[in-house]
Structure 1
Amino acid sequence: MKKAERMVAALFILSLLAGCDKSDGQEAVSPTEAHHDSHIEHKSEEHGDAKRMQAVFSFTTGAAKAKEDAELAVHITDSEGNPVNDFELNHEKLLHLIVVSEDLSYFSHLHPSYQGNGIFRLPLRFPAGGKYKVFADFKPVGGNNTTVGEWLEVEGTTLKAEAIQVDLGRVKEVEDKEIALSPVKLKANEETALTFSFRDARTKEQITDLEPYLGATGHVVILSRDAGHYLHVHPLDEASTGPEARFVTSFPQPGIYKIWGQFQHRGKVITVPFVVQVE
């Protein structure tokens, strides 16, 4: 190879490596899409995509304080800082915002209002001071499903962190409903069908009249223990009304994960959490 050609190749490799650096504390990320019939999974992964979307999270009140009203602004831009103006409806919303506390004991799934010029806003009230991670999940027109996450600091008294303990039993009672999760054994990097089963906690009769929530039987959000891996999974059969709802996913690596399943029954949204060990 001629000397000039070697120099060009070296510069090209350096430019690729530079593109892999994170910026502005964002753990960001155009997610990969895995299609299984009607199922869509959004995975948050860090990579050096030069065309990736960016999000700036800021409090319009200057700082957020525990148990006080604050307004969060989410400004979506392209890699050059230009506002992204057009978004596709993604399960009835332009943007899904997931908020979790550092110990994953607090979870909220919200939908900010679009103000135009790439800016979304919504009011927030945090239960305590400390670190919270926010994930903006959206799809630009003509682009891919994209997720950007960032840690935010909230002022005020912090609470003692709750231990993240694996649920040995996979049955929870929420809002007079008995909800079971299977399978018990989970392995990393293998396609897994997570099945939620529903029955009345008192009568033990199967529940067969689940209602659509954001255009589907339900939604599942999965986070690794450190909130470094994010998965948003939609059901295989989006029109199912029970007694089961199935979601296909793949855990990126072994470890502890927290799963939140969200469903609607008789006009009320039910959120059921499970902590699992992935081998």
Structure 2
Amino acid sequence: MKKAAIALTITAVLLTACGPGGMKHSGTMDHSGSMNDSDHGNMDGMTMVADKTQAENIKAKFMLSNDQPQPNQSATITVRIQDKDGNPVNDFDVQHEKLMHMIIVRKDLSYFNHIHPDYKGNGEFTITTQFPTAGEYEIISDIAPTGIGAMSKSEWITVQGTAPAVQPINPDPTLTKEVDGKEVTLSINHLMANMELELNFNIKDAQTKQPITDLQPFLGAVGHVVILNDKGGEYLHVHPAEENSSGPDAKFMATFPHSGVYKIWGQFQQNGKVFTVDFVIEVP
């Protein structure tokens, strides 16, 4: 990316996407989305997805409080949403309890953050956060301008300093992981590119192996799933097939647009605490 304060012109297509030089995001039914080039789109069961022409007419200008951000120092991100003539877009639909969902990932996908900027009015969203290390990060903002529909806008930034070595993105040998005292197993039926499939997160107590059945709603749903491919070419923000589930299973429908390696982050809540589990898979 260039430095901060760069206006984005991105092309939203039928569902959501993002990545360096543009991400394509493929969606299924009304649980995920897909996009072209440097554009992204987002969709949930309550919000229509913007068509290509409408999304092209919405611009996002990303700015940082410091055009040379440093690791572990507070930086304020401002996103200004404008129409094609540069006028502010003022009205947005709520998607899963928020007007904007912001995803921040490091280029090698070793860092993930899902946060929610405050709306200040006049098309402007802001949030203060920190980046843990030097390196390149993508900032993805999911929005739904009223009367237009859901879409994503993104920008790359460079955090100053010596970046740590790039971590390889290798498929996990097993799809069971332990996090925050939970044992989470991901199962996927008929794993194949360009076909709708089901992602099922089964969640147990890591010590007792008893099913967890008291998951609490996280942003109005049993959980949220974000998916990025290792090349920065596809981005999916997926919502559950059964929003009111409380476990032990949390099911999501998604479509991987191409074969390749993808990283999946699932986010869930129990006892007032959100926990995140990630898996890397290879789609044939």
TM-score bracket, shorter-length normalisation: 0.7 to 0.9
Residue deviations 1:134-165 (CA, integer Å, cap 9, x gap): 10101011111111122111112211111111
The separation in 1 between residues aligned to 2:227 and 2:86, in whole angstroms, is 29
Q: Which has the higher contact order (CA 8 A, sep 6+)?
A: 2
Deviation readout 1:189-243 (Å, 9 max, x if unpaired): 0110000001111001000110000000000000011222110110011000011
How many angstroms apart in 2 are the aligned matches of 1:191 and 1:62? 41
2:255 to 250, 253, 263: 250
The unaligned stretches of length 5 or more in structure 1 are 1-22
For residue 77 of structure 1, give the secondary structure of its aligned residue in structure 2.
Answer: strand
Contact 1:31–1:144 under 8 Å retained in 2 = no
Length, aligned pairs only = 255
Partner of 1:236: 241
CA distance in 2, matches of 1:79, 1:195: 40
Q: Choose the corresponding residue for 2:15, options 32, 38, 41.
A: 32
- The 5-angstrom pairing of residues 92-171 of structure 1 reads 92-171=97-176
Contact residue 31 and residue 145 of structure 1 kept, 8 A: no
Question: Residues 30 and 146 (structure 1 numbering): CA distance in 2 closer, same or farther, change over 3 Å?
Answer: farther
- The equivalent residue for 1:210 is 215
Selected match of 1:49 from 29, 33, 52: 52
Q: TM-score, normalised by structure 2?
A: 0.85
TM value normalised by structure 1: 0.86
* Contact map agreement 2:28 2:253 (CA 8 A) in 1: no
How many angstroms apart in 2 are the aligned matches of 1:142 and 1:190?
A: 30
Query: How much has 1:57 moved relative to structure 2?
Result: 1.0
5+ residue gaps, structure 2, are 1-5, 17-26, 40-50
Q: What SS does the corresponding residue of 1:153 show, helix, strand or coil?
A: strand
- Contact 1:129 1:156 (8 Å CA) reproduced: yes
Segments ≥4 residues shifted beyond 6 Å? none
What is the identity, as a one-letter code, of the residue corresponding to 2:274? V
In structure 2, the partner of 1:7 is none
Letter in structure 1 aligned against 2:210: E
Distance 2:63 2:259 in 1: 33
The structure-2 alpha-carbon separation of the partners of 1:185 and 1:196, relative to structure 1 and needing over 3 Å to count, comes to same
Deviations 1:50-102 (A, max 9, x none): 43222111112333111111111111112332211100111000000000001
Assess if the C-alpha contact under 8 Å between 2:31 and 2:252 holds in 1.
Answer: no
Mapped pair 1:89 → 2:94: yes
Larger Rg: 1
Alpha-carbon spacing, 1:179–1:127, altered in 2? closer, same or farther (3 Å)? same
Secondary structure, aligned partner of 1:42: coil
Moved more, 183-192 or 111-120: 183-192
Amino acid paired to 1:267? G
Equivalent pair of 1:66/1:157 in contact (CA under 8 Å): no
Percent of aligned pairs with the same residue?
Answer: 43
Amino acid in structure 2 at the alignment position of 1:239? N
Q: Relative to 1, partners in 2 of residues 1:24 and 1:120: Cα closer, same or farther, differing over 3 Å? A: closer
Counterpart of 2:24?
Answer: none
Counterpart CA distance in 1 for 2:213 and 2:67 is: 47
Q: What amino acid is aligned across from residue 202 of structure 1 in structure 2?
A: Q
